[in-house]
């Protein structure tokens, strides 16, 4: 066999390389290559000084709350949106504050703090306002909080029960739990005319608890009543209280089921006359149905706890997730905070024996798909149960009556401790932002096959504990579905091969797509094309190297 000359070898190898190179590098040689580039949110240039609260370490009425909200909004309109989402029974505004980077109009992951379902738990209003202040003051100085605000929509409702807030502020009635719809409890044609009073003038409205003595020396709680006078001169006391419905029993999920709710209007846990019978819960329902929250807080007091949704047996409905979150809270909350909670699946049934009938968290989980609605009980005063404030009033062989005078600081601390309580709990609010389900997305190896863009999509869940809940979708900016992949577990990554129809993009009038879902928000990508891409220097080097190797081999063979 006659060997080819070096010149012929060079010519032949060049022809072969030219023919086969496009097969190995189809996106670089004579092809149209699609590029999917994320349209990132640009941080706002901070131009504002720290926002100071107008009423630090003070309990507030609704006018003061509105002033605080407007103070933050006027100082930082780039981050703070304010909306009136409805009104209470007495026509007070219920406000929703949204903290968001307004430089980007795309839908982001959403999270929520709603405070003050219960009138006497007024320090939760302060917690909500400190949360707003902390967010706007951290933006541009704390990189992590800045990133959360850039990629999340953070909603805050400072008080869902504004009527009760004003009533307590004006009367110092620290027992009021329910809303202020008037109700004729005693059927005499009058409304709220005989509530409890400080009858002996000692500065307390005493609560008396009646306990039955069992044969084994255990005590069984029977009922409670309160100190008072006969305000309406009918020979009875405290038979027609101010306050009607427990708003945190008025949602429609599992409504009106004992023992966690009651259909007795005199009960502190009265569920109302029907699900969503109260304007305050109607306002929240209408607001929440417009959003999808993967995790949310409802702020309460009276115990130190992080309550999760349970089933009818009192077991956590998402045992794996809630166990992880409970372990996290044990680390981030102050030492001893959880002493009163009974957190484990086995022990929580002793604290919360069944579903929270008509509760906010039940509604959020079952009706709106919020996988982690946390009832966050932010304050408990153990000293209020000391012998001086909580003591045996009288007893006999069958019953014991306990007197409790510690109501003033039982549900909210003394005003001088408001800020300290906030500072202790800041890690829990950081945790809320961290757990809000968000994703990062990257496209690789995109090719054009006819009218279809084929690409590898790598999706990562950024929440350490909470999955993306729904599948990740690729949509046109008008919402039209193009492609869907699986949901992504917490702190996990999925890799999918997706196909996008160019015709759909062109019909939409632009080449922009959005990737995500209603819980994670959407990342936007611009689709562009590079045609006839020249061979890169790297490929030229490869070509010359291959040719040189061929020549060397041919030369060595010829010498043989």
Q: What is the pLDDT of residue 499?
A: 94
> Based on the domain organization, do 355 and 384 belong to the same domain?
yes
Mean pLDDT in residue range 237-254: 90
> Based on the domain organization, do 547 and 504 belong to the same domain?
no
Share of the chain above pLDDT 90, in %: 60
Q: How many CB atoms lie within 10 A of CB 230?
A: 14
> Based on the domain organization, do 166 and 279 belong to the same domain?
yes
Q: What is the pLDDT of residue 535?
A: 47
Domains identified in the chain, total number:
3
> Based on the domain organization, do 279 and 342 belong to the same domain?
yes
Question: Per the domain annotation, does 296 fall within a domain?
Answer: yes
The CATH number of the domain holding residue 375 is 3.40.630.10
pLDDT digits (tens, 9 = 90+) for 288-340: 999 999 999 999 998 888 899 988 887 889 999 999 998 898 888 887 664 43
Question: Per the domain annotation, does 305 fall within a domain?
Answer: yes
> Based on the domain organization, do 162 and 14 belong to the same domain?
no
> Based on the domain organization, do 362 and 281 belong to the same domain?
yes
Residue 542: give the domain boundaries. 1-21+535-560
> Based on the domain organization, do 430 and 441 belong to the same domain?
no
Question: Per the domain annotation, does 37 fall within a domain?
Answer: no
Q: Among the listed ranges 187-191, 284-288, 456-460, which one has the minimum average pLDDT value?
A: 187-191
CA distances from 532 to 27, 287, 292, 535, 540 (A): 9, 52, 44, 9, 16
Residue 187 vs residue 536, higher pLDDT: 187
Name the residue among 550, 116, 113 with its Cα closest to residue 364: 113
> Based on the domain organization, do 176 and 282 belong to the same domain?
yes
Mean pLDDT in residue range 454-479: 96
> Based on the domain organization, do 291 and 371 belong to the same domain?
yes
pLDDT digits (tens, 9 = 90+) for 412-437: 988 998 998 999 899 999 999 999 99
Instruction: Specify the 3-state DSSP secondary structure of 510.
Output: coil
Mean pLDDT (the chain) is 86
pLDDT-based confidence at residue 173 (cuts at 50, 70, 90): confident
The CATH number of the domain holding residue 477 is 2.60.40.10
Mean pLDDT in residue range 145-170: 97
> Based on the domain organization, do 119 and 88 belong to the same domain?
yes
Say if residue 398's pLDDT is above 60.
yes
DSSP assignment of 306-327: EE--B-TTS-BSSHHHHHHHHH
pLDDT digits (tens, 9 = 90+) for 497-526: 999 988 877 776 678 999 999 999 999 999
Instruction: Specify the 3-state DSSP secondary structure of 374.
Output: strand
> Based on the domain organization, do 84 and 4 belong to the same domain?
no
Question: Per the domain annotation, does 187 fall within a domain?
Answer: no
Q: What is the pLDDT of residue 185?
A: 78
Mean pLDDT in residue range 353-367: 90
Angle subtended at Cα 249 by Cα 245 and Cα 272, rounded to the nearest 5 degrees: 40
Question: Per the domain annotation, does 268 fall within a domain?
Answer: no
pLDDT-based confidence at residue 234 (cuts at 50, 70, 90): confident
pLDDT-based confidence at residue 204 (cuts at 50, 70, 90): confident
Question: Per the domain annotation, does 47 fall within a domain?
Answer: no
Question: Per the domain annotation, does 491 fall within a domain?
Answer: yes
Q: What is the pLDDT of residue 39?
A: 94
> Based on the domain organization, do 75 and 164 belong to the same domain?
yes
pLDDT-based confidence at residue 2 (cuts at 50, 70, 90): very low
Question: Per the domain annotation, does 247 fall within a domain?
Answer: no
Say if residue 399's pLDDT is above 60.
yes
| pTM score of the predicted model | 0.85
């Amino acid at each position: 066999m006659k060997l080819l000359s070096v010149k012929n070898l060079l010519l032949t190898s060049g022809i072969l390389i030219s023919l086969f190179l496009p097969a190995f590098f189809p996106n670089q040689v004579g092809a149209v290559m699609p590029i999917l580039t994320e349209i990132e949110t640009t941080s706002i240039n901070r131009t504002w000084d720290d926002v100071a609260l107008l009423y630090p370490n003070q309990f507030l009425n609704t006018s003061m709350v509105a002033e605080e909200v407007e103070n933050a909004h006027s100082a930082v309109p780039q981050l703070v949106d304010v909306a009136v989402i409805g009104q209470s029974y007495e026509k007070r505004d219920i406000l929703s504050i949204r903290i968001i980077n307004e430089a980007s109009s795309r839908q982001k992951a959403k999270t929520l703090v709603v405070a003050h379902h219960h009138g006497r738990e007024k320090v939760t209003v302060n917690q909500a306002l400190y949360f707003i202040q902390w967010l706007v003051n951290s933006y541009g100085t704390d990189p992590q909080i800045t990133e959360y605000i850039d990629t999340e929509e953070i909603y805050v409702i400072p008080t869902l029960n504004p009527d009760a807030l004003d009533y307590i502020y004006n009367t110092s009635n620290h027992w009021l739990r329910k809303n202020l719809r008037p109700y004729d409890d005693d059927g005499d044609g009058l409304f709220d005319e005989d509530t409890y009073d400080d009858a002996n003038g000692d500065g307390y409205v005493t609560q008396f608890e009646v306990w039955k003595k069992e044969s084994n020396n255990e005590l069984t709680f029977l009922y409670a009543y309160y100190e008072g006078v006969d305000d309406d001169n009918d020979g009875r006391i405290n038979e027609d209280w101010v306050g009607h419905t427990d708003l945190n029993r008025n949602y429609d999920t599992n409504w009106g089921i004992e023992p966690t709710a009651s259909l007795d209007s005199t009960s502190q846990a009265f569920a109302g006359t029907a699900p969503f019978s109260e304007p305050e819960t109607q306002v929240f329902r209408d607001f929440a149905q417009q959003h999808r929250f993967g995790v949310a807080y409802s702020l309460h007091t009276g115990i130190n706890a992080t309550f999760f949704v349970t089933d009818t047996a009192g077991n956590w409905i998402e045992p794996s997730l809630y166990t992880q979150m409970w372990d996290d809270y044990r680390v981030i909350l102050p030492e001893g905070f959880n002493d009163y909670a009974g957190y484990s699946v086995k022990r929580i049934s002793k604290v919360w024996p069944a579903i929270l009938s008509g509760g906010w968290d039940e509604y959020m989980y079952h009706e709106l798909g919020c996988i982690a609605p946390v009832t966050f009980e932010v304050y408990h005063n153990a000293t209020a149960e000391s012998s001086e404030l909580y003591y045996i009033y009288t007893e006999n062989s069958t019953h014991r009556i306990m007197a409790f005078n510690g109501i003033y600081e039982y549900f909210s601390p003394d005003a001088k401790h408001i800020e300290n309580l906030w500072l202790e709990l800041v890690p829990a609010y950081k945790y809320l932002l961290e757990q809000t389900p968000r994703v990062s997305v990257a496209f690789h190896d995109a090719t054009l096959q006819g009218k279809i863009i084929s690409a590898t999509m790598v999706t990562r869940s950024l929440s350490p504990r909470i999955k993306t809940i729904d599948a990740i979708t690729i949509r046109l900016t008008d919402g039209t579905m193009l492609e869907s992949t699986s949901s992504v577990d917490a702190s996990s990554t999925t890799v999918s091969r997706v196909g996008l129809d160019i015709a759909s993009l062109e019909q939409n009038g632009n080449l922009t797509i959005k990737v995500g879902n209603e819980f994670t928000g959407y990342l936007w990508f611009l689709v562009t094309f590079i045609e006839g891409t020249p061979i890169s220097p790297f490929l030229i080097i490869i070509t010359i190297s291959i040719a040189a190797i061929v020549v060397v081999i041919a030369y060595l063979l010829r010498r043989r």
